[in-house]
Amino acid sequence: MYAIINNYSALSYHSGLIFMKKKMRKKIRKALFPAGGLGTRFLPATKASPKEMLPIVDKPMIQYAIEEAITCNIEEFIIITGKYKRAIEDHFDSAYELEENLRKMDKKKLLNEITKLNHLNFAYIRQRAALGLGHAIFCARPFVKDEPFAVLLSDDVIAPEETLLRDMLGLYEKLGCPILALEEVPMTEIHKYGVIDGKPCGKGIYKISDLVEKPAREKAPSNLAIIGRYILTPQIFSVLEKLPPGRGGEIQLTDGLKKLLKKEPIYGYIFKGRRYDAGDKLGYLKATVNFALKNSEVSKPFTKYLLGIAAMIKK
């Protein structure tokens, strides 16, 4: 009990209160995967195909997020979809004819790859209009109910060896309040993100005092951007329910979190690993190249190919 206070000495919690809250705290069993956006940065490729199904080497980007959640013992997977997103549901469903053909051809490795997620509990919720991340999360209220939950934005691709989500879940176990993943970004890029102001508490943790959605560089309170991993409490739903449209006419999660600050503390956790913004063409290409270099099937010939390309560029 007292070790918690020693490790987080800057956090203003009485040790007995932490102990009591921890005993009553619900385990995080559910994760949301918002996938109802229009994917305009990848048009025309995403006109009729989900951005989330774009492949990074041999898996769609949303599968990397699902597998990340699996390693953290998440039990229920809630995907917020939209029009033209049916391919996501089909991908995580059984494909009996394909599976049977692979069995007959004795292609055990491929069969395992396409069936290893069949045991998971998936729910799909249709977001009828792309009204922002806050609206997408609010759509999940009937499924989440009164439980805390994780949110993973699949176009923020994080390598499987990273432990960001696991670290955030561990921090939630100690603090019992929302935890946002943060990353230090160049001020030239800060206008693309929700940004926080807050006080450092040690070990990469910040107690958040304010949040701003996509501020101009000169108005940004810091260089600490919110990235696509969240641990949220069900209190966010009552805030989002009454939240008016914000930037871009959408229900912005950052605006909702700003209001939630009046009801409960929110902490940020700085991620020092490698993240790829695969919702952007350049970020998507970077993710594809880096994941290919780690793929045992293609890494050697692909490395040779890249070296050849690099030599040509130098000329």
DSSP assignment of 78-114: EEEE-TT-HHHHHHTS--HHHHHHHHHTT-HHHHHHH
Q: Which of the 8 DSSP states describes residue 243?
A: P
- Residues ≥6 apart with Cβ < 8 Å to 43: none
Query: What is the set of domains in the chain, with CATH numbers?
Result: 2-279 (3.90.550.10), 280-315 (no CATH)
As a whole number of angstroms, the distance between CA 223 and CA 263 comes to: 25
Which sign does the torsion angle of CA 288, 291, 296, 299 carry?
positive
Q: What is the pLDDT of residues 127-173, one digit of tens each?
A: 988 899 999 999 999 999 999 999 999 999 999 899 999 999 999 99
As a whole number of angstroms, the distance between CA 218 and CA 61 comes to: 34
Q: What is the pLDDT of residues 191-222, one digit of tens each?
A: 999 999 999 999 999 999 999 999 999 999 99
Q: Which of the 8 DSSP states describes residue 193?
A: S
CA–CA distances in Å: residue 117 to residues 3, 112, 287:
38, 9, 23
Q: What is the pLDDT of residues 218-252, one digit of tens each?
A: 999 999 999 999 999 999 999 999 999 888 889 99
Q: What is the pLDDT of residues 67-84, one digit of tens each?
A: 999 999 999 999 999 888
The whole-chain average pLDDT of the chain stands at 90
Range 265-283 average pLDDT:
95
Cβ(153)–Cβ(35) below 8 Å: no
> What is the structure's pLDDT at 314?
79
As a whole number of angstroms, the distance between CA 7 and CA 15 comes to: 12
> What does pTM read for this prediction?
0.88
As a whole number of angstroms, the distance between CA 162 and CA 229 comes to: 13
> What is the structure's pLDDT at 1?
35
